[in-house]
Structure 1
C-alpha cells in the first residue's frame, strides 16, 4: 500500500510506531500517578 511508509526493513509502519509510543506514554503516566498515591 502506498499509504504505509516503511520505517525499516523489519516492515514496521509509521502507524505502529506511533501506537507504541502512545502506549509507552500511557504506561509512564500510570507509573507516575501510582508513585504519587
Structure 2
C-alpha cells in the first residue's frame, strides 16, 4: 500500500549533509516519511 493512516515502519534514519552558498546544512529523514527523496 502506498499510504497507511497508522504506519508502523521501523526507523531507518539517514543523514544528508550539504553545503549551499557557503551554508552547511544537515537534513535527517526516516522511514515512513512521505516523499523522503
TM exceeding 0.5 = no
Between 1 and 2, higher relative CO (CA 8 Å, sep ≥ 6) is seen in 2
- TM-score bracket, normalised by the shorter chain, equals under 0.3
TM-score (norm 2): 0.19
Largest Rg, 1 or 2:
1
Relative to its length, the structure with more strand (as a share) is: 2
Q: Which has the higher helix share?
A: 1
TM-score, length of structure 1 as denominator length? 0.19
